[in-house]
Amino acid sequence: PPPPPPPPCDFGGRWAPLSLPGGGAMAALDAAVGGFVEGERAAARRADGAMAALMAAVETEARALWPGASVAAFGSRATELASGASDLDLVVVGVPELDQFAGASPDSQLRLLAELAPRLAAIPGVASAALQKSSVPVVAVVADAPAADADAPAADAAAPAPAAARLRVDVSLQTAQHSGLVAAEHVRCLHACLPALAPIVVVLKALLNRHHLKSAFTGGLSSYALTVMVARFLLHHQAFFAWPGAD
């Protein structure tokens, strides 16, 4: 059975239900949100080719350092929740030294990433490749996006103008504590069951990004945390839930 509805907020005994705008206003809001979300998705798609090429280059350098290693994507760009400002999250799988130990310390990961960082910095088009110390250490790569193809179809006039031509990629190492790939699979399952999840998350990510609150590294809210919060709200309200394949 569905969970019971939450109790109404109590503001010193004064409470009244929130009245929604009229149907015309709601339809206009729905159209505006839909147009904004499609514009953000179009902006994200414009970077797909360059991101894929950069991912292939990162994998080449990782394999040169650790034969047998591979690179996998997780995060927003792997779960169809990317906006125009979304970076690419990559994890290097199959690093021999990390496979031997269930609990790889951040220091050991930093040492291995320090070996990888100069190789990533040498990739053509990469402007910087800096180590970031955190609970999950990463190499933060910033690269110049290639110029737009003159033969490519013109962008939709309603789509937002592209931001600064920079690609941002965070590269981490797979360990027993790394949950990126598992989290991505979880988000894909939520995405399939909750049709409203993607547009709400894209709008809220843009709002957080505008106020510089989207990066967990600098004290903001991560995309995964935001997605889980929105999914919890939608799951609580059964009208937003849909089993995949159901009529």
Tokens standing for residue 102: 């269930």
* Of 195 and 159, the one with more pLDDT: 195
Residues contacting residue 95 through CB under 8 Å, at least 6 positions apart: 66, 69, 112, 173, 174
pLDDT number for residue 4: 59
- Kindly list the distances between the CA atom of residue 87 and the CA atoms of 48, 161, 235, in Å, as whole numbers in the listed order: 11, 17, 27
Give the model confidence (pLDDT) of 108-119 as tens digits.
899 999 999 999
pLDDT number for residue 160: 43
Element (H, E) at 244: none
What number of CA atoms fall less than 13 Å from residue 84's CA on the CB side? Answer: 19
- Enter the DSSP assignment of 11: B
Report the alpha-carbon distance of residue 141 to residue 137 in Å, rounded.
Answer: 13
pTM: 0.77
Tell me the Ramachandran region of residue 49: left when phi exceeds 0, alpha when psi lies from -120 to 50, beta otherwise. alpha
Confidence of residue 152 (pLDDT cuts 50, 70, 90): very low
* Of 121 and 18, the one with more pLDDT: 121
- Kindly list the distances between the CA atom of residue 110 and the CA atoms of 25, 98, 132, 159, in Å, as whole numbers in the listed order: 52, 12, 9, 40
- Fill in the amino acid letter for 74: F
pLDDT number for residue 119: 97
Sheet holding 126-132, edge to edge: 70-74, 88-93, 166-173, 138-144, 126-132
Does 1 have pLDDT greater than 90?
Answer: no
- For residues 3, 179, 82 and 28, what is the CA-based torsion angle, rounded to 10 degrees? 10
**SS3 state of residue 144:** strand
Does 103 have pLDDT greater than 70?
Answer: no
**SS3 state of residue 166:** strand
